[in-house]
Copies of this chain bind each other. A is one copy, B any other.
């Protein structure tokens, strides 16, 4: 067993700890890069969704492959670092967390793609009928802001971003519930396809934010030294 702060010269004379810190920094930078791609994807998806812009929707749908590739490359790097450095304790948890965070980011990319797919599918019509336009505008704004804060969180590991994301997530959950209230109200006279679309769209928006909250919890565990997913995520 190796202590995490053990110092051994490697072949280039640099100590292992320095190399390891540099590799951890590289992992973090790549997570930030994926989060930036996700922020761009949700921004464009929301624009495609609210303006029925089918070309933009296509761009988001195709662009999701890039996010998937970024996530896979990050995973390969993290696994490679684990194999070469044999980290233990907190160092190992940082790397395992980075695998989980990349999975959440990849899933956020999928959800942006799903939102874009709804826009493309319904084109040239709008996905959202008139009574719910402002609700979905706000949901989109919230997801975009959450994606932006998520980039900052991964960049700085400042937990204030996680708190802010969690607050916005609460607002998003309330909007998600309000969509169902609208759809189930007597005044709802939209055709079934509109009901299907807003049900799915609302769920995608809500899930997108959930993943950002999950990422924040991972960062929180690491920075507080706690690692209690059983209690927190049950």
| A 178-234 contacts with B by CB, 8 A | 180, 183-184, 188, 190, 192-193, 195-196, 199-200, 203, 229-230, 233-234
B84, A82: Cβ atoms closer than 8 Å: no
A180–B190 Cα gap in the complex (Å)?
16
In the complex, are the beta carbons of A229 and B75 less than 8 A apart?
Answer: yes
The closest CB in chain B to the CB of A91 belongs to B83
Give every chain B residue within 8 A of A180 (Cβ-Cβ): 196
Chain multiplicity (copies): 2
Cβ of A25 within 8 Å of any chain B Cβ, yes or no, is: no
Is A145 located at the chain interface by the 8 A CB criterion? no
Determine whether the beta carbon of B203 is less than 8 Å from that of A183. no
Interface membership of A170, Cβ < 8 A: no
A200 to B200, CA, bound (A): 7
Q: Which residues of B contact A69 (CB under 8 A)?
A: 230, 234
User: Nearest B residue to A64 by beta-carbon distance?
Assistant: B234
Interface residues of A, Cβ cutoff 8 Å to B: 1-2, 65, 68-69, 72-73, 75, 79, 82-84, 86-89, 92-93, 96, 99-100, 103, 180, 183-184, 188, 190, 192-193, 195-196, 199-200, 203, 229-230, 233-234
- 10 A-B pairs (CB sep. < 8 Å): A1-B84, A72-B230, A79-B92, A82-B92, A103-B103, A180-B196, A183-B192, A183-B193, A184-B196, A203-B203
